[in-house]
Structure 1
């Protein structure tokens, strides 16, 4: 159940120094199978990031210098977990969306046909909707070991304008795939999860810019003090592994990097006889940024899923005489 709440992500372009993949997307219990049926996850995401005045970022055919941004977003969507096994594992499909407010600011450096450069400061904000992200997962359980493979894509129907600083859509398609592992021992209450993946970005036809391939690793470690309360740590590492196409020559391949780490707390509670609720709060402080703004972000997740079926009562032994 808890794994479903980590399946939402925001979409941005490497063009502006931020990726399609939102680091921290997966966390604790990511690879554990869920309860068959429909579930729903809603995530409130707040982030504040900035990059120094000496750092340059390509965006929409221009160069932005010293960018900053703030986001207050809601990620939401249903997940359906199939009861019938697929390749010996448990399959699930999700359809996720995003809406909220995004604010961006930058010092813009514009170069004219005669080589003259005009610099100006600019701030914009946008309240709108983002792209739609379908996702498929397949998970296997072997005692305390759990394994997962996943695939997702980006359908670029969100609010996007290459001339704006603030966007909720990315203006191009993308695919992401990877795998994960969760160790969870219900007896000791100890858990560790890690998920790795790669993102391939298609060309942004609005700007003739194509982001490079991104590698990402999200992890979470926690301890369940009882069947309800969970405390632990979360972290991520993001590294672009191939060059962008379309970046100004002065910026080279414009490969980006970022890492983050922080605490988490989770709480599981019943919602009647047939549903379970899950609340999770986690936060990240970022560091080691390269060609990417750096700051902090928090996630508040509320997920509803079918309650796990109680173990079947043991049948009394019978004896023939």
Structure 2
């Protein structure tokens, strides 16, 4: 069976305050617009690892601190429950869900130039934590033809996660943020080819603890994948993101930009009588501005918990 669902999980994409964004770049890959085929409840888990750094002369705003020489490794788990109440809502499939982030950010900085409250520091500093991020609500509406699929989606970051005020390592954005995206997929099971594209806009709010107001962002992704059998597929994927409005913080506009390319592979299996999909992705960032530059690795597992199958 093909990919059960394609959804954008909450996460960290290295822009704005804390080098973090609501939309997880790379999540809009193959079958980006393909919705779950029947009503039911679906489970998705993403294990995400990112490793990146920035040169010592580049300053970053980080949870009330101004730091230089940032090196970050993030290991995170994004668990999503998706409920599909109807496959005939406005002529399409409606899905609602929630994503719960849990992770271990590990950060090293060459210097903390300014700490919370304006204190000046110069020492090298390291911070790690096992912590929760903000929960993210999801709404998706998709339509499909014989080969062409369309999807509109939105997600909202609710700032109630474990925010470690004044600390370097955080998974919580601690600000309201809303992303709206549109995706299209040309998905041909007969030939095994899938061509997908996704674009979106992220509205960022203000962190009330630090007073930092992050600018808005746009993101564009594309993927091409070939299924070589009902069990295995392989493809290439890329993304581009750019901040289009200024941050309101001590570093001025601080607009970020990045482009990355990667590879992806998926295998479809049957577990306890139900179809499941495992997918891996690896991305390399080629050029960045006001962001970390590095690589990310994904392992994605999708399976239906219950399905309202049509009567035979």
Conserved? CA contact 1:137–1:148, under 8 Å: yes
Larger Rg computed on CA atoms: 1
Question: Is residue 2:212 matched to residue 1:209?
Answer: yes
Conserved? CA contact 1:108–1:122, under 8 Å: yes
Question: Is residue 2:43 matched to residue 1:40?
Answer: yes
What's the CA shift for 1:308?
10
What is the aligned partner in structure 2 of residue 30 from structure 1?
Answer: 32
What is the aligned partner in structure 1 of residue 252 from structure 2?
Answer: 252
C-alpha spacing 1:174/1:265, structure 2 compared with 1 (3 Å) = same
C-alpha spacing 1:186/1:60, structure 2 compared with 1 (3 Å) = closer
What's the CA shift for 1:112?
11
Deviations 1:132-163 (A, max 9, x none): 00100000012211101011100111111231
Find the aligned partners of 1:5 and 1:32 in 2 and give their Cα distance: 6
Alignment of 1:52-63 (within 5 A): 52-63=55-66
Determine which of 143, 167, 172 is the counterpart of 1:169: 172
Conserved? CA contact 1:42–1:303, under 8 Å: yes
Alignment of 1:73-92 (within 5 A): 73-92=76-95
What is the aligned partner in structure 2 of residue 14 from structure 1?
Answer: 16
Find the aligned partners of 1:98 and 1:33 in 2 and give their Cα distance: 22
Conserved? CA contact 2:3–2:31, under 8 Å: yes
Conserved? CA contact 1:17–1:256, under 8 Å: no
What is the aligned partner in structure 2 of residue 181 from structure 1?
Answer: 184
- TM-score, length basis structure 1: 0.89
What is the aligned partner in structure 2 of residue 108 from structure 1?
Answer: 112
What is the aligned partner in structure 1 of residue 261 from structure 2?
Answer: 261
What is the aligned partner in structure 2 of residue 196 from structure 1?
Answer: 199
SS at match of 1:7: coil
Conserved? CA contact 1:14–1:20, under 8 Å: no
C-alpha spacing 1:3/1:192, structure 2 compared with 1 (3 Å) = farther
C-alpha spacing 1:150/1:271, structure 2 compared with 1 (3 Å) = same
What is the aligned partner in structure 2 of residue 119 from structure 1?
Answer: 122
Conserved? CA contact 1:97–1:130, under 8 Å: yes
What is the aligned partner in structure 2 of residue 315 from structure 1?
Answer: none
Find the aligned partners of 1:111 and 1:123 in 2 and give their Cα distance: 14
Find the aligned partners of 1:18 and 1:71 in 2 and give their Cα distance: 11
Note the residue ranges of structure 2 that are not aligned, 5 or more in a row: none
C-alpha spacing 1:86/1:178, structure 2 compared with 1 (3 Å) = same
Q: What is the number of equivalent residue pairs in this alignment?
A: 307
Determine which of 125, 145, 149 is the counterpart of 1:146: 149
Moved more, 181-190 or 157-166: 157-166
What's the CA shift for 1:5?
5.4
Alignment of 1:289-304 (within 5 A): 289-304=288-303
Moved more, 303-312 or 127-136: 303-312
C-alpha spacing 1:311/1:173, structure 2 compared with 1 (3 Å) = same
Deviations 1:37-62 (A, max 9, x none): 11101111111010001101122343
Note the residue ranges of structure 1 that are not aligned, 5 or more in a row: 313-321
Alignment of 1:219-298 (within 5 A): 219-246=222-249, 248=250, 251-273=251-273, 275-298=274-297
Conserved? CA contact 1:93–1:136, under 8 Å: yes
- TM-score, length basis structure 2: 0.92
